[in-house]
Amino acid sequence: MNKVLKNSWALFLGMGFIMMAYGFQGSLLGVRAVQEEFSLTATGFMMSGYFIGYFIGAATIPNIISRVGHIRVFAAFASLASLIILVHSILIHPFIWFLLRVLTGISMVCIYTVAESWLNDRSSNKNRGSVLSIYMVILYGSMGIGMFLLNFSAPKNFQPFILVSVITSAALIPILLTKKKPPTFKKINAMSLNELYKSSPFGMVSSFFYGTIQSALFTLLAVYATSMNFTILEVSIVTFLLAVSGAVAQFPVGKISDVYDRRKVIIASTFGAAIFAIIAIFVSGQMYLPDGLATSKTWFYIFFILFSFCSLPMFSLILAHTNDYITKDKFVAAGAGLQFTFGLGAMSGPFLCSIFMDLVGSNGFFVFLFFFHTLIGAFGIYRMRVRETVENPDSQFVAMPQTITPAGIELNPTTEPIEEPIKEENREIN
């Protein structure tokens, strides 16, 4: 563990700053969109730009990294992300913000790919699990801290946008000052969609639907809370709870899925999330509660934590379930394929959710989450009737960040062994 931290501290620190800025930015733009009186549909359209950019970047970044190298790509796209957030504060229009979100998505997937391929190069078969665990803690912890920075200054001011830019720029310092040599980039080939579907129809379909859920959840939660008259502090609390409770839930839910039928765990989790989403509707607005309880949002926080606990481990569950039906040598390719289908779903999530909110009101946010979680559960029940559960000794649950790229999936310690690094004490570390 100490060697992992010593070898990768610059990258971990840089990613900590990046995720802090990312968490802050997401909440900031959502709240500011409400304050600028963007329509819900326009806000959803604008927020979906991030995932469109993410999808575009994922397809193009391998060639860019191969051409110019990891450090230059990280520096270039972190600088671009830092510049983009400042433009948000100058040009305030839904369509312009949509274009800026596309560029942000491209920048972020480039940064993730650089970081995760770098970590893979510095990992051995013995420490990949530790590397991934540390990486997850940094991602979720930093994102949670960033969400609390929403209280730094009123979203109507320009200071929060400057702070996001400053934090993003700070990520460049440890990366650019390191003496370590960057790794040679290895492009990960995904399964064809047809092959992936034949291997695991439930894995592929649920990954698509879950992409719609995740993208809407992380981009529109602050919009929902603001429209429900939450204070800035309350918005920060609820977004922080989303990041932290989801991270904490990964490990106990994963252990359960390694003991019991994985499909049953997925179905139970998704129906649990659907139920808690509906309950959240009734406890979010004070008008629904008895007088004694209507003075506090404590009940909303409790049920939202339970929703996050059920919902956020699901991509890792879906990945593990898919691996149950394939051989070990295809784990990384299948993961890349699932990320592709996840991205397809994610592009439409915020826009579709905003339509629900336009039709139903602000609580359409949770109606949307209920609907798609129920779809996953219903399809899972159908698949259990047409296909028996299999036992694959090579497959096990591994907690994965929601933003993981195909390069990051290689950190899964259950994948095919990788070539052990040369003695690290004698090698220039990346």
CATH number of the CATH domain containing 356:
1.20.1250.20
Check the CA dihedral 222-269-20-338 and report its sign.
negative
Residue 144 and residue 203 in one domain: no
Domains in the chain, number = 2
Of 156, 376, 358, 372, the closest CA to residue 265 belongs to 376
pTM recorded for the entire structure: 0.88
Residue 101 and residue 206 in one domain: no
Tell me which residue range forms the domain holding 14: 1-177
Residue 159 and residue 67 in one domain: yes
Instruction: State the DSSP code for 427.
Output: S
| Residue 428 within any structural domain of the chain | no
Residue 159 and residue 202 in one domain: no
**Residue pLDDT tens, the chain, 430 long:** 566 666 678 888 888 999 999 999 988 999 999 999 899 899 999 999 999 998 888 878 878 887 888 888 888 999 999 999 999 999 999 999 999 999 999 999 888 888 888 887 777 767 777 788 888 888 888 998 988 888 887 888 889 999 999 999 998 888 887 766 666 666 666 678 888 888 889 999 999 999 999 999 999 999 998 888 888 888 888 889 888 888 888 888 888 888 888 889 999 999 999 999 999 888 876 544 455 554 567 888 889 999 999 999 898 899 888 888 888 778 888 888 888 899 899 999 999 999 999 998 888 999 999 999 999 999 999 988 887 777 776 677 777 777 787 777 777 777 766 555 444 444 443 4
Query: 7 near 429, Cβ under 8 Å?
Result: yes
What lies within 8 Å, CB to CB, of 292 at 6+ separation is none
| Residue 346 within any structural domain of the chain | yes
Last residue of a domain, one of 117, 151, 177: 177
